[in-house]
Each structure stands twice: as C-alpha cells, then as structure tokens.
C-alpha cells in the first residue's frame, strides 16, 4: 500500500511538472506547438477524468492553432464535468488540480471561440448557462449586451453581479430611472474597464470604442 501511494505521488508530481511547463509555454511564450508535447504526455498518464488542467490547456492549444472543433469539444467536455454533481467526489488528484476554478475561464474561452466563428447564438447560450452567476462570466454578459446596445439586458446582468458594490448598483438604478441612458452605459463600461482580470486588450479596445461613441 505504501509503495502504491509513493508511486502515485511520484506520478502526480511528474504530471504537475508537465502541466507547469505547458502553462508557461502557453501563457508566457505563446509556444503552443511545444506545449502540445508536454500536455499530450500528461494526458497519457492521467487516469482520473477530472484532472481538468490538462484538458483546459489542451483546449487552449487547439483553439490557438485553429483546430476549432477539437477545442469546442474539449471546452464542452470540461463544462459538463464542472457541472456534474459528482465532480468533487470523483477527483482523486486533490490540490494538484485547479478543478472548478477553471470553470469561468472555460466558459469565456468557448464564448470567444463561438464569437470568432460568428456563432453568436451559441456564444450567448454559453454565457447565459452560467447558473452559479460567476463574476467573470457575468462581466462578459454585461459586455456582450453593451456592445449590442442592449441596455436592458446589460443592466440586468449588472444588477445580478454580486461583486459589484451596492453603491454602484444604486447609482445605475438612479440613472436609468431618470432616463439618463448614456450616463448609465458610461458607468457600466468604466466598471468593465476596471476589471483587469477579465478582459484582454482586444476586449478593452472594443469597450473604449463604445465609450467614445456615446461621449
């Protein structure tokens, strides 16, 4: 038994190292093809289907090397895993995996991919399926509707976001009740632009253009 536990820990350490190398190649060097080698090796060693990190990195690789259908399949597989009621019970890798913390990032990546493919209906469905109202996903819902000039739905998403202060929500409600729609949009855009951990430079450029169009 001790030997098996020792072997398992050794394997997990090796897998974690492969994942770390892959993540560095993807996020810091944008070297997706080189990262693929390490991710694929990790996937060969993984028996537990809930070790989500490797699947997420694999999806990013396929996404960024234009293998879109493979990426979509992996993102959907991950989302279904995260939503499974047995997800936490079935995982045996514990702290060696980021687990459900990857859920909102997976949803956002799938949304972006569908938008790239001009499949807006599917993209929006991915965001609106965010049943746990994750902050990061909710911010993308606000952005999506704002860029469509859909003030009603963007405001509804804003009010649902539990991490936006009540003070800011009260201010938005006041602006809307006074029919000050441009000011309301301005407030929501600024809230999004200050959310550093969510939006890429491209996202922020879109929002800045919208901001300029209403000033």
Looking at residue 90, its pLDDT comes to 45
pTM, 2 dp: 0.84
Which tens digits make up the pLDDT trace of 65-103?
999 999 999 999 999 888 876 665 444 444 345 667 889
- Angle in degrees, CA 153, 133, 213, rounded to 5: 35
- 42-to-35, 46, 54, 167 alpha-carbon distances in Å: 11, 6, 7, 47
Least confident span in 1-10, 95-104, 114-123 = 1-10
Q: Are 189 and 211 in contact (CB under 8 A)?
A: yes
**Which of residues 153 and 3 earns the better pLDDT score?**
153
CA distance 35 to 24: 8
CA distance 79 to 86: 13
Region label for 46, one of left (φ > 0), alpha (ψ between -120 and 50) or beta (otherwise): beta
Looking at residue 95, its pLDDT comes to 38
All structural domains of the chain, each given as residue ranges with its CATH number in brackets, are: 1-132 (1.25.40), 133-215 (no CATH)
Looking at residue 132, its pLDDT comes to 66
Alpha carbon distance, N-terminus to C-terminus of the chain: 69
Q: Are 190 and 168 in contact (CB under 8 A)?
A: no
CA distance 84 to 51: 14
CA distance 40 to 103: 21
Which tens digits make up the pLDDT trace of 34-74?
999 999 998 888 765 567 888 999 999 999 999 999 999 99
CA distance 20 to 81: 22
Q: Are 126 and 112 in contact (CB under 8 A)?
A: no
In eight-state DSSP terms, residue 82 is H
Task: Select from 67, 15, 51, 57 the least CA-distant residue to 34.
Answer: 57
């Amino acid at each position: 038994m001790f030997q098996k536990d020792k072997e398992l820990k050794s394997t997990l350490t090796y897998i974690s190292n492969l994942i770390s190398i892959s993540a560095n190649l993807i996020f810091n060097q944008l070297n997706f093809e080189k990262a693929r080698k390490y991710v694929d090796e990790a996937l060969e060693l993984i028996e537990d289907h809930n070790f989500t990190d490797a699947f997420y990195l694999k999806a990013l690789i396929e996404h960024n090397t234009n293998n879109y259908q493979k990426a979509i399949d992996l993102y959907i597989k991950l989302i279904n895993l995260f939503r499974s009621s047995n997800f936490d019970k079935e995982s045996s890798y514990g702290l060696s995996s980021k687990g459900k913390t990857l859920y909102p990032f997976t949803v956002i990546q799938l949304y972006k991919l569908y938008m790239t493919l001009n499949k807006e209906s599917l993209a929006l469905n991915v965001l609106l399926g965010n049943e746990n109202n994750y902050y990061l996903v909710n911010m993308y819902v606000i952005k999506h509707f704002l860029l469509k000039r859909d003030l009603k739905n963007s405001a509804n998403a804003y009010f649902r976001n539990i991490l936006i202060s009540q003070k800011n929500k009260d201010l938005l409600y006041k602006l809307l009740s006074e029919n000050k729609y441009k000011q309301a949009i301005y407030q929501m855009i600024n809230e999004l632009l200050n959310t550093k951990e969510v939006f890429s430079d491209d996202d922020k450029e879109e929002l800045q253009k919208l901001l300029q169009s209403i000033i």
